[in-house]
Amino acid sequence: MALDLFEAAKAAQARAHAPYSNFQVGAAIRDDTGAIHAGCNIENAAYPSGWCAEPSAISHMIVAGGKHVRELLVIGNSDVPCMPCGLCRQRLLEFIEDTQAVTVHLAHPERGIIKTLTFADLYPHVFGAKELKS
């Protein structure tokens, strides 16, 4: 089922603007309607003015009317899994209702999915909207 996410993230990765690090990242989100939204990292010479692939994908989801992340795939051009950074984990959390129910796939452009875990495994100790209300 994640093959469609892989293809979307890989296509986005190919469009990444990473002239400084040459580290191209793509991300694809499946939202609560089943729609897929992809994004890539966009670097800027005035670091840290650029942004990561995950918030780029979140932005596409919101513009399209999606509300919640149900599944995520991140693809980087390294041999080790490309984990979302801490800030991206927090940004993703804003659009996740149940961290145990969201699947996160980490992929390599040629080898495909190399690791799958839950968002709760990726980000075990969260502080989000639910914690503000308790």
| Catalytic center residues | 54
- Taken in order 12, 14, 17, 23, is the CA torsion positive or negative? positive
By 3-state DSSP, what share of the chain in percent is helix, strand and coil, each rounded to 5?
A: 30, 25, 45
Q: Which of 104, 95, 89, 105 is nearest to 63 (CA)?
A: 95
